[in-house]
Amino acid sequence: MTIHDEQDFRARLGTALDDFAPGQVPLDAVVRQGRAVLIRKRVTSVVVGLAVLAAAALVPTLLDSLHQPPPVNRHYRVTVNPPHPGSPRGLVASGLVNHARWQFFARYNKHGNGLCLQSQLGSDPCGGPRPNDYLGAAATIWGSYPESARLHGRWIAVHMVYGYVRHDVDRVQVTLSNGQVLTLHPVDLFGPKYARWVAMAVPFASAVREITVYAAGAEIEHAVPFTARGSIEIYRWLKPDQADLPNPVSGRVGSVTLAGHQYVVHGYLGPWGSCFRSPLVDEDMCNGQSGALKPGTVVKFLAGSHSSDLGLNILQVEPAVSYLMVTRPNGNALRLRPVTLGGQKYCILPDDLRHQDVTWTAYNATGHLLGSGSVRKLLG
């Protein structure tokens, strides 16, 4: 079984076995991104507002596509085309998902709302500057959650893959589950001072197997997105000589009790890094970390939600840690027992302790002190 076959298998099996409540209907996705739990820490100040694409009858109905994992061998075809002379201003790319037509735009108004990213239909929330052509990451690419729009009485569900690249990047290739390898040509929309843009659409999240970035004809980096839970998460880029490791593994990493209710947390480790899900949070919580902590690091914050007291934080601890004591100012202590997944240990910390004067202390199995510190500083 290949790594990609295993990802598809886990996507199907996980939906049946994991203790997750069904996600919200994608019609609320744009609103949810504005008001829901802040999970990702993007490496850019661009505020992305994404509505969805126009499409046609061959795309499955919205509810069916959301509540059922896509079949491993689903037949589909995707095309992507760069803009041509006479294309609308700001067009990044257009194409088809089966017979459903899509377009994606990036526009900027320095006297208005700044950068606006939008698709063919729907609203276009805006904000933020144009990304500079900085000498940092070769590519900054995201995947959208399932989005929806109403067209001629039909619900259409699609996912976008979009973002920007440095000027030395000449192409981005996306390998799909049906064997297609699509080439995205970066589009210079704002001039040489600014990064160039790429975009494409896919019928479901797990259609995206790998994304590879090229410059001067050679690979710079590649990424295996996390797609097993119905979204496209890209947090970790691998060098050309790096294998797609670790092998995928998933399982329960603990639980947290808030307001009298216990919420289970599941973890998914793989070449994408580490991602976590809980019924308490609508979206994936991800981090590029997937292996052992750096020497000398006892506890590290990986991901979490912090929009309210009903949130959680995932901590990775070194293998020698047997338990964490989290002590409040009044002396009350909370003991956290780590759970092992893929050879690494994780603890779940309630988020209501984030802004309090709380300390953590790590001990090994014999009660020996391994380290201590401030919870506020740990969570950032």
**Backbone region of residue 43 per phi and psi (left: phi > 0; alpha: psi in -120 to 50; beta: other values):** alpha
Does the pLDDT of residue 325 top 80, yes or no?
yes
pLDDT value of residue 89: 93
Are both 113 and 189 inside the same structural domain?
yes
Say which CATH number the domain at 295 has: 2.60.40
Are both 374 and 330 inside the same structural domain?
yes
Mean pLDDT (the chain, rounded): 79
Are both 88 and 38 inside the same structural domain?
yes
Kind plus residue range of the DSSP H or E element containing 349 = strand 344-350
pLDDT value of residue 132: 87
Q: How confident is the model at residue 112 (pLDDT cuts 50, 70, 90)?
A: confident
pLDDT value of residue 165: 96
- What residues have CB less than 8 Å from 224, skipping those under 6 apart? 3, 209, 210, 238, 244, 270, 271, 272
Are both 254 and 217 inside the same structural domain?
no
> Residue 239 domain-assigned?
no
Q: What are phi and psi of 37, to 5 degrees?
A: -60, 130
Unique residue bearing structure tokens 């710079």: 220
> Residue 236 domain-assigned?
no
pLDDT value of residue 63: 34
pLDDT value of residue 51: 36
> 223 with 236: CB under 8 angstroms?
yes
Percent of the chain with pLDDT over 90: 53
> Residue 26 domain-assigned?
yes
Percent of the chain with pLDDT over 70: 73
Are both 334 and 207 inside the same structural domain?
no
Are both 286 and 211 inside the same structural domain?
no
Are both 266 and 173 inside the same structural domain?
no
Burial category of 265 from C-beta neighbours within 10 Å (exposed 0-12, middle 13-18, buried 19 and up) = buried
Q: How confident is the model at residue 380 (pLDDT cuts 50, 70, 90)?
A: confident
Maximum mean pLDDT: which of 151-155, 270-274, 281-285: 270-274
For the chain, the domain total comes to 2
Helices (H) and strands (E) in the chain, counts: 4, 24
Strands of the 218-223 sheet, one edge to the other: 181-184, 171-176, 208-215, 218-223
Are both 206 and 138 inside the same structural domain?
yes
Does the pLDDT of residue 72 top 70, yes or no?
no
Q: What are phi and psi of 28, to 5 degrees?
A: -90, 5
Angstrom CA distances, 181 to 101, 211, 271, stand at 19, 10, 20
**Which amino acid is residue 240, in one-letter code?**
P
> Residue 241 domain-assigned?
no
pLDDT value of residue 56: 33
pLDDT value of residue 29: 34
Q: Which domain holds residue 288?
A: 249-379
CA triplet 223, 226, 229: central angle to 5 degrees? Answer: 165
d(CA 345, CA 327): 21
Question: Which is nearest to 307 in space by CA: 33, 49, 29, 35?
Answer: 35
Residue range 268-272: mean pLDDT, rounded = 97
Q: What is the pLDDT of residues 16-60, one digit of tens each?
A: 333 333 333 332 333 233 323 333 333 333 433 333 333 333 333
